[in-house]
Amino acid sequence: MKRNKRERQALLTETIKENPFITDEELADKFTVSVQTIRLDRLELSIPELRERIKNVAEKNFEDEVRSLPLEEVIGEIIDMDLDNSAISILDIKKEHVFKRNQIARGHHLFAQANSLAVAVINDELALTAKANIRFTRSVLEGERVVAKAKVISIDEEKGRTLVEVTSFVNSEIVFKGDFEMYRSHA
Amino acid sequence: MKRNKRERQALLTETIKENPFITDEELADKFTVSVQTIRLDRLELSIPELRERIKNVAEKNFEDEVRSLPLEEVIGEIIDMDLDNSAISILDIKKEHVFKRNQIARGHHLFAQANSLAVAVINDELALTAKANIRFTRSVLEGERVVAKAKVISIDEEKGRTLVEVTSFVNSEIVFKGDFEMYRSHA
DNA sequence: CTACTATTAGTACCTAGTCTTAATAGCTTG
DNA sequence: CAAGCTATTAAGACTAGGTACTAATAGTAG
């Protein structure tokens, strides 16, 4: 069970990534080396100490949680957000998103990106999709980057409905367009 | 600005709840009392120390993160299939499908099930979604089983378009309905 | 005046580290 | 074979942000 340095450090990175709550002592036990070796490894790998790691995990979503925004639950990465107005997210199409036969992205991934963005842009605890009208105008291939832009068109406070238009692009070429009628609990 | 004990402790609870990342020293400053007083207050109010608080926030986030799994390839399990005619699939709504706030299934999972089924029912190597018009008529909760039924309405061989209607139920109650216009290469 | 509450102070100790210096073992290379 | 290098381990001083405990002080109520 003797691992060399390289091997141990690779495993260490993996272990900490999977469980950031592990102490140096527990790691030393696990790899049957001294605590000092673990600390040296962390230093070389630029892995912060337990408390910093925990703090990072805690801070990551705290803001969102207070705002009750399901930002973490959005498909794709949000790069701009102006609540109740507009939002932009990007999604890189990888192997797991495409049909094996032809490397074309499955429609529901584009829909998921657009739909979750429409949910996120609404400044409300409870936003749900009521209706949607969508068009796929060009197939997206593996390796392409889809930029989705959501725009809030209108807010009907009486009916509790909000209209959101989402347009997705690959290199300024429209690949998807959807009109979402969203339900909100507290408009 | 002199607050009494009761008042200060109420404010303290509020402050820490809003920002668990604050140290006793910062709190002492804020309430212009000594650090010891803050610690006595926390003791009386059973508020754990900074590190414990951070750890709690981190643990909460960590759990959520793991369970927010992305979309797989084919959504739902196909239990009946009559190519170019009709198909049925089921999807059990689990933790990873719902908003953590309210346990309501996220729209894109219902869409994904319907869309996958619409693609699968078409007897062609290459079937893609061109347009879709969808309605979510009832929210689906964690633990419920969604049965999606697809029916091919028309096949336009010239245009290479096929219309598929998908209706999803939970216990014979309609929860989702979608009209899919599918593109096929070799009709 | 005494009793009690609230506040403050001080000390020892803890965890999970950092940072630094130093020692040792096992190779390799001239 | 000695010198140099890498990897590992150890030891000591220091840190943040505390806990747990004892003790002192101020102000108020009976």
At residue B118's C-alpha, the angle toward residues B112 and B119, to 5°, is 90
Nucleotide nearest to A40 (CA to C1'): D8
pLDDT score at B86? 95
Over the stretch A58-69, which tens digit does the pLDDT of each residue have?
Answer: 998 676 554 444
Is A5-61's fold the same as A68-184's?
no
Average pLDDT, chain A: 90
- CA B5 to C1' D29, in angstroms, rounded, equals 18
The nearest alpha carbon in chain B to A19 belongs to B62
Handedness of CA B139, B145, B147, B148 (dihedral sign): positive
d(CA B185, CA A139): 13
Topology at the third CATH level for domain A5-61: Arc Repressor Mutant, subunit A (1.10.10)
CA distances, B119 to each of A105, A178, B10, B39, B84 (Å): 13, 19, 58, 62, 10
d(CA A6, CA B102): 45
The CATH superfamily of B77-184 is: Hotdog Thioesterase (3.10.129.10)
What percentage of chain B carries pLDDT values higher than 70?
A: 91
What mean pLDDT is predicted for residues B3-28?
Answer: 94
Whether the pLDDT of residue A1 is over 60: the answer is: no
Q: Is B75 on the interface with A (CB under 8 A)?
A: yes
d(CA B156, CA A71): 41
Q: Which helix (H) or strand (E) holds A131?
A: strand A127-136
Q: Are strands B145-156 and B86-92 parallel, antiparallel or unpaired?
A: antiparallel
Residues in chain A: 187
Q: Which CATH code fits A68-184?
A: 3.10.129.10
B106 close to A116: Cβ distance less than 8 angstroms: yes
So where are chain A's domains?
A: 5-61, 68-184
pLDDT score at A68? 44
C-beta atoms surrounding A40 within 10 Å: 14
**Is the CB of A68 less than 8 angstroms away from the CB of B101?**
yes
What mean pLDDT is predicted for residues A66-74?
Answer: 57
Please identify, in words, the CATH class of the domain defined by B5-67: mainly alpha
